[in-house]
Chain A
Amino acid sequence: MTPHWKFWVIGGLVVAVLAAAIYFPILRRRVKRAARLQQQSEEQARRELAQPIAINPGDPRVKTKLFWASDTIDSTLVPVTVELPLSSDPVVRSKQVLNTLLAGPVDTELRTLPPDALLLAFYLLPDGTAIADFSEALATSVPSGIVSEQLAVNSIARTLEANVQQVQRLKILIHGQEMETLAGHLDLTGTFVVNTKPAQAPVKPASTPSSTDKPATLAAR
């Protein structure tokens, strides 16, 4: 072995150490970033995937009743009428009105649903039972209490009642699961009556069923 060979071995090792010294912090940053991404909850990942249903400007604009809290009478709902281009398909239409309801009124004090709650999925069974799947925020961020939880559910049900005739009953899921209660009080194991009248298809864009005919299970007085 010649000294020349030793020189190259030591030189190679020094280069390797230097390369490791540079690469190691980069690798560490990448690992940290990956860990952060992993920490994102499943719900956040779904939120990224859950695209709000597009409103098609080509659809006929109809008067849409959205039920938010009253600013004059405590713990009651009042309909606010806005003109929206709504689809005639009951599922798409339901998603459109619920997303608008979730977006909230101009006066945020009159919200009935938490600002971070999302509609993850919406299904309509042939018997008129609608299944609305909301993100966990609906359960975790709604104020706990009979009156507040009922206001939240009623605003969803009565908005559907006023705008989507095909929906007769509503089942609320949280993140795909059936919950015993919304936030400790209101029973989510059953369905809520929405429309007592038989569905008429197709839905006329301008038709808005009377909201005075409130079923007892949903009456918000």
Chain B
Amino acid sequence: MLLQVRNILRIKSLFLIGLPSGTLLAAVLASPPVTPSQAQQPATGTPTTASPAASSAQPGVASPFGAQTQQAGLSIVVLDPAHGGTDPGARGTGGIRESEIVLDFAIQVRRALELQGFQVVQTRQGNEDPSFDDRSATANAQRGAVFVTLHISSTGLPGTARVYVNSDLPPVSNSNGLIPWDRAQAPFLGLSKTFGDLVQGFLLQRFKGSPETTQTASVRQLRTTAAPAIAVEISSVTVENRADLDRMAPGVADAIARGVAAFKPSYVVASTPGAPR
């Protein structure tokens, strides 16, 4: 029936580490602690995906990315200015368009993150409108990344900012080491919440009236993202003057950058594909 539509049909797998097999093999071989038996894992070239481990990572579990992870950790932030192209997003009475403002916000967030030493990848640079899956794919192609999607709301108390993480998703079976694309966020929900609470805390310091903790919502963009992922929504396009929103940009950028920096120690790229959070 109608319910059987896309959820059942769209089971795609993530291919996050298929391409740099040569580089990875070199990294594994160069890593002294990895035993030969452990080193056989990546050599199979089985498509798999990044997985979170955080502080719960099991000691002794071999990681084909062990050496690389220890060196890099969290270093990449994927920034997603929402909407774009023919989709303006929320529109205010004064001609304010969400798609334009989030792009301007992204520039400032990017600058603040780069000052902290993070590499930033944007899902769009100009007035394009990549699909939800394309945006997730940009994030899923990175290793050791976090994902932040930027939004401006139509409603809510002006001058406040909310952080959202995805609602609970059905658990992912780990039998084949693959994460279904449709539920790519499932193993990362705990990390996303930790990350979101940190950013929300910094936003609250700057913008009074904002919530104290992260909210949960079924945000489509977050569901297919295989990384700690949050949505930051700023209120709102109903302001009379666009300058009211522009004034918030430095504070939002600072809060996100500080949140990412604070989250960095608690995010260790997992050793086992599909490992629980």
Q: What chain A residues lie within 8 Å of B218 (beta carbons)?
A: 150, 153, 186-187, 190, 192, 217
- Nearest B residue (CB) for A151: B155
Q: Within A193-221, which residues are at the interface with B (CB < 8 Å)?
A: 216-219, 221
Contact with A along B192-221 (1 / 0, CB 8 A): 000000000000000001010001111111
Give min CB distance, B9 to chain A, whole Å: 11
A187 with B223, Cβ < 8 A, contacts A192-B218, A217-B218 known: yes
Q: Is B135 an interface residue (CB 8 A)?
A: no
Flag if B151 contacts A185 (CB, 8 Å). Answer: yes
- Nearest A residue (CB) for B236: A145
Q: Is A99 an interface residue (CB 8 A)?
A: no
- Nearest B residue (CB) for A154: B217
Q: Is A129 an interface residue (CB 8 A)?
A: yes
Name the one of A148, A171, A192, A218 contacting B154, with C-beta atoms under 8 angstroms. A148
Give min CB distance, A67 to chain B, whole Å: 16
Q: Is A44 an interface residue (CB 8 A)?
A: no
- Contacts A144-B91, A178-B2, A187-B218 known; list 16 others, CB within 8 Å: A75-B156, A143-B154, A145-B152, A145-B155, A146-B233, A173-B2, A180-B132, A184-B82, A184-B87, A185-B217, A189-B5, A189-B7, A192-B218, A217-B216, A217-B218, A218-B167
Q: Once bound together, how far apart are the Cα atoms of A187 and B167, in whole Å?
A: 10
A146 with B151, Cβ < 8 A, contacts A171-B3, A189-B7 known: yes
Flag if B215 contacts A221 (CB, 8 Å). Answer: yes
Q: What chain B residues lie within 8 Å of A146 (beta carbons)?
A: 151, 153, 162, 164, 217, 219, 231, 233
Q: Once bound together, how far apart are the Cα atoms of A184 and B160, in whole Å?
A: 21
Q: Is B259 an interface residue (CB 8 A)?
A: no
Name the one of A171, A187, A189, A191 contacting B219, with C-beta atoms under 8 angstroms. A187
Give min CB distance, B225 to chain A, whole Å: 12
Flag if A145 contacts B5 (CB, 8 Å). Answer: no
Q: Once bound together, how far apart are the Cα atoms of A24 and B2, in whole Å?
A: 49
Flag if B6 contacts A186 (CB, 8 Å). Answer: no
Q: Is B104 an interface residue (CB 8 A)?
A: no
Q: Is B254 an interface residue (CB 8 A)?
A: no
Flag if B219 contacts A185 (CB, 8 Å). Answer: yes
Q: What chain B residues lie within 8 Å of A186 (beta carbons)?
A: 217-220
Interface of B: prevailing SS: mixed
Name the one of A144, A176, A178, A217 contacting B167, with C-beta atoms under 8 angstroms. A217
Q: Is B157 an interface residue (CB 8 A)?
A: yes
Could you tell me which A residues sit within 8 Å of B by CB distance? 74-75, 125, 129, 131, 143-148, 150-151, 153, 171, 173, 176, 178, 180-181, 184-187, 189-192, 216-219, 221
Nearest 9 A/B pairs, CB to CB: A143-B154, A145-B153, A217-B167, A187-B220, A187-B218, A145-B154, A144-B90, A148-B155, A74-B157
- Nearest A residue (CB) for B238: A143
Q: Once bound together, how far apart are the Cα atoms of A192 and B83, in whole Å?
A: 24
Q: Once bound together, how far apart are the Cα atoms of A187 and B219, in whole Å?
A: 6
Q: Within B221-275, which residues are at the interface with A (CB < 8 Å)?
A: 221, 223, 231, 233, 235-236
Flag if B155 contacts A147 (CB, 8 Å). Answer: yes
Flag if B2 contacts A131 (CB, 8 Å). Answer: yes
Q: Once bound together, how far apart are the Cα atoms of A176 and B236, in whole Å?
A: 31
Q: Once bound together, how far apart are the Cα atoms of A146 and B151, in whole Å?
A: 8
Flag if B233 contacts A145 (CB, 8 Å). Answer: yes
Flag if A185 contacts B220 (CB, 8 Å). Answer: yes
Flag if B215 contacts A145 (CB, 8 Å). Answer: no
Q: List 25 A-B contacts (CB under 8 A).
A: A74-B160, A131-B3, A143-B153, A144-B90, A144-B91, A144-B154, A145-B153, A145-B156, A145-B236, A147-B153, A148-B153, A150-B217, A150-B218, A171-B2, A173-B2, A180-B132, A184-B82, A185-B219, A189-B5, A189-B182, A216-B168, A216-B216, A217-B168, A217-B216, A218-B167
Q: What chain A residues lie within 8 Å of B98 (beta carbons)?
A: 144
Q: Once bound together, how far apart are the Cα atoms of A143 and B219, in whole Å?
A: 15
Name the one of A147, A180, A217, A219 contacting B156, with C-beta atoms under 8 angstroms. A147
Q: What chain B residues lie within 8 Å of A181 (beta carbons)?
A: 220
- Nearest A residue (CB) for B162: A147
Q: Once bound together, how far apart are the Cα atoms of A125 and B4, in whole Å?
A: 13
Q: Once bound together, how far apart are the Cα atoms of A150 and B217, in whole Å?
A: 7
Q: Once bound together, how far apart are the Cα atoms of A124 and B153, in whole Å?
A: 33
- Nearest B residue (CB) for A185: B219
Q: What chain B residues lie within 8 Å of A176 (beta carbons)?
A: 2
Flag if A184 contacts B89 (CB, 8 Å). Answer: yes
Q: Once bound together, how far apart are the Cα atoms of A75 and B217, in whole Å?
A: 13
